[in-house]
């Protein structure tokens, strides 16, 4: 059995209760096969793959909090510190009822390669809780965040592990988490990113994942002789990534006709009104039915269905495994020419394969959504030098990082004889950097 197959078999056996983690590891190990096969002895002797698929540590803790009625609840809190070969652990916190160890291990594993692709010195981690912020008051969210940080503070720090936001964790939550860290430790340091602009946050961090996705897409399209201007596109999700992906797509001359949330989706033939979407989602924290109420021309559908709309390009920006094989078939039969992931692993393995086999350009989230964490690393740089850069400075660095990632994954795919296979390109380029750093640092 080849080394890759041996490690894959062992990962499947040891993690039977974690399908998303198995899915993420399988995708990476399958794509780095040519690189590993070419130097099998070197990697096998160092047990490099076994070390790569096992997190450095998993921290799990109890998070008790009291609701506004005085009732005490207990949530689970986690931090998966996956790999710090190339820099301090870095990755978001997710607050969502679906959070369990398998989701955070998949996200932490993806983050290792994503962060390597940014070219910046950050390792990979992820954390979060099964807490659901929906429908909670600000005071409840604050008490939850304070309780969460009262345990997490022991394991994080500006040179150790730097969390940020993800699903269910935005500026409000980061603010409460930062306040509690400072209160407990007395240390004013850049140990969280996505902070508010008055206390060490970076301009453009809020927009970075969505904007970065579009900068990346424009370069991928350019490399393939296509352009975004004048095209019709679909976006799923209505959170931070989706909102700023839609905003930048429209600035670049595309028409965005869909967005979605956990209960339904909007088709807006006039193009999504991003200002209204922000008002509904960022200010009122309401459902998309309120978008429809203000926009009579738009159509609201219950349930899922974004991928049935005829578009030139699709941007899944909601959550993992939201685009399945049937969705991929619908996109292809409607003439879709590109799928660019804004969320982490939103496309199932079967759907990805189908899209690639049918000539659809496809970029994996670990490459195309790296703009968020890249800008987090820029926030860390600004905190270290105790300065704030201008919007132009951050945006131009973000653009060059995202264009650079597109060029890197394109070159890596070509080098290994798989031109246009950006899944392989991203995994190979990320792996080469992390593997070299791990080998150089000895067995650990």
Binding status of residue 366 toward ligand GLU by CB under 6 A: no
Question: Helices (DSSP H) in 224-348: which residue ranges?
Answer: 240-251, 274-278, 289-294, 325-333
Q: By CB under 6 A, name the one of 20, 27, 161, 166 that touches ligand GLU.
A: 166
Binding status of residue 105 toward ligand GLU by CB under 6 A: no
Strand partners, 128: 78, 94
Q: Write out the two tokens for 108.
A: 């932490």
Neighbours of 223 (CB within 10 A): 17
CB of 371 to ligand GLU, least distance (A): 9
Give the residue at shortest CB distance from ligand GLU: 92
Neighbours of 232 (CB within 10 A): 17
Q: By CB under 6 A, name the one of 18, 31, 75, 193 that touches ligand GLU.
A: 193
Task: Report d(CA 163, CA 194) in Å as an integer.
Answer: 9
Q: By CB under 6 A, name the one of 376, 382, 383, 427 that touches ligand GLU.
A: 376
Catalytic residue set: 126
Q: Using CB under 6 A, count the residues that bind ligand GLU.
A: 10
Residue at token pair 């970029």: 363
Task: Report d(CA 109, CA 124) in Å as an integer.
Answer: 7
CB of 205 to ligand GLU, least distance (A): 8
Q: What are phi and psi of 314, to 5 degrees?
A: -125, 140
**Sole window of 274-282, 287-295, 322-330, 368-376 interacting with ligand GLU (rule: CB under 6 A):** 368-376
**90 or 96: CB nearest ligand GLU:** 90
Binding status of residue 421 toward ligand GLU by CB under 6 A: no
Binding status of residue 124 toward ligand GLU by CB under 6 A: no
Binding status of residue 207 toward ligand GLU by CB under 6 A: no
Q: Write out the two tokens for 272.
A: 């999504």
DSSP element (H, E) containing 313: strand 313-316
Q: Which residues contact 354 (CB under 8 A, 6 or more apart)?
A: 325, 328, 329, 332
Binding status of residue 316 toward ligand GLU by CB under 6 A: no
**3 or 148: CB nearest ligand GLU:** 148
Binding status of residue 364 toward ligand GLU by CB under 6 A: no
CB of 247 to ligand GLU, least distance (A): 18
Binding status of residue 347 toward ligand GLU by CB under 6 A: no
Please give the distance of CA 338 from its chain centroid, rounded to a whole number. Answer: 19
Neighbours of 128 (CB within 10 A): 29
CB of 41 to ligand GLU, least distance (A): 34
Task: Report d(CA 108, CA 177) in Å as an integer.
Answer: 20
Neighbours of 159 (CB within 10 A): 12
Footprint of ligand GLU on 45-104 (CB under 6 A)? 90-92
CB of 417 to ligand GLU, least distance (A): 30
Binding status of residue 433 toward ligand GLU by CB under 6 A: no
Binding status of residue 398 toward ligand GLU by CB under 6 A: no
Q: Write out the two tokens for 5.
A: 């197959």
The residues of the shown chain that bind ligand GLU, judged by CB under 6 A, are: 90-92, 164, 166, 193, 344, 372-373, 376
């Amino acid at each position: 059995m080849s080394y890759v197959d041996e490690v894959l078999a062992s990962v499947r056996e040891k993690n039977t209760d974690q399908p998303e983690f198995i899915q993420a590891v399988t995708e990476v190990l399958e794509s780095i096969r040519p690189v590993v096969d070419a130097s099998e002895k070197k990697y096998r002797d160092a047990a490099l793959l076994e070390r790569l698929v096992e997190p450095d540590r998993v921290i799990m803790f109890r998070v008790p909090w009291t609701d506004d009625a005085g009732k005490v609840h207990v949530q689970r809190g986690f931090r998966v510190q996956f790999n710090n070969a190339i820099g301090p652990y870095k990755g978001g916190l997710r607050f969502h009822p679906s959070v369990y160890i398998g989701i955070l291990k998949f996200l932490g594993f993806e983050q290792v390669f994503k962060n390597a692709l940014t070219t910046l010195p950050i390792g990979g981690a992820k954390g979060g809780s099964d807490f659901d912020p929906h429908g909670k008051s600000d005071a409840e969210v604050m008490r939850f965040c304070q309780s969460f940080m009262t345990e997490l503070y022991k394991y994080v720090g500006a040179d150790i592990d730097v969390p940020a936001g993800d699903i269910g964790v935005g500026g409000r939550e980061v603010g409460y988490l930062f306040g509690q860290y400072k209160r407990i430790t007395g240390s004013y340091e850049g140990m969280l990113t996505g902070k508010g602009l008055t206390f060490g946050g970076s301009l453009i961090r809020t927009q970075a994942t969505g904007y970065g996705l579009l900068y990346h897409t424009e370069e991928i399209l350019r490399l393939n002789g296509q352009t975004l201007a004048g095209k019709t596109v679909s976006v799923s999700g209505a959170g931070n990534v989706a909102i700023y992906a839609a905003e930048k797509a429209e600035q670049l001359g595309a028409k965005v006709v869909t967005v979605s949330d956990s209960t339904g989706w909007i088709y807006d033939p006039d193009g999504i009104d991003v200002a209204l979407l922000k008002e509904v989602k960022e200010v009122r924290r309401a459902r998309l039915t309120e978008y429809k109420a203000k926009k009579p021309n738009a159509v609201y559908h219950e349930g899922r269905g974004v991928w049935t709309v005829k578009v030139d390009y699709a941007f899944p920006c909601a959550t993992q495994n939201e685009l399945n094989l049937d969705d991929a078939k619908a996109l292809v039969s409607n003439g879709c020419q590109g799928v660019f992931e804004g969320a982490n692993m939103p496309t199932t393995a079967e759907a990805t394969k189908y899209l690639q086999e049918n000539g659809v350009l496809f970029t994996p989230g670990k490459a195309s959504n790296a703009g968020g964490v890249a800008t987090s690393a820029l926030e860390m740089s600004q905190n270290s030098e105790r300065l704030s850069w201008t919007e132009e400075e951050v945006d131009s660095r973000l653009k060059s990082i995202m264009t650079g990632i597109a060029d890197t994954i394109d070159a890596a795919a070509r080098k290994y004889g798989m031109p246009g296979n950006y899944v392989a390109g991203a995994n190979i380029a990320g792996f080469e950097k992390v593997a070299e750093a791990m080998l150089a640092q000895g067995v650990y």
